[in-house]
Amino acid sequence: GAEKITLKGMPKTLPEFITIMQEGGAKMIACSAAFEMAGVTEKDLIDGVECGGVASFVADAQEADVVLTFC
């Protein structure tokens, strides 16, 4: 799972990275179109992560200063 992913030069785990980003005010959106492929549902999302489609992502991304995506 996510706890095994490490990011060079960043916090040791993806959950730590997510916590830091959320504390900094980042908005996190999980792609609803990818849920079926990943075998997850909206109830599987961690606190503070929203479910959104491509249209809502594009709208938010146009207004953002920085956009990070993970596959």
Residue 58 lies in a domain: yes
Residue 71 lies in a domain: no
What b/e readout covers 17-32, taking b as 16+ CB neighbours within 10 angstroms? bbeeeeeeeeeebbbb
Residue 69 lies in a domain: no
- Number of structural domains (the chain) is 1
Residue 21 lies in a domain: yes
Which domain range does residue 41 map to? 2-63
Q: Tens of pLDDT along 13-63?
A: 778 888 888 999 988 888 888 888 889 888 998 888 889 988 988 998 899
Whole-model pTM over 0.75 = no
Place of tokens 């996190």: 28
Residue 70 lies in a domain: no
Residue 68 lies in a domain: no
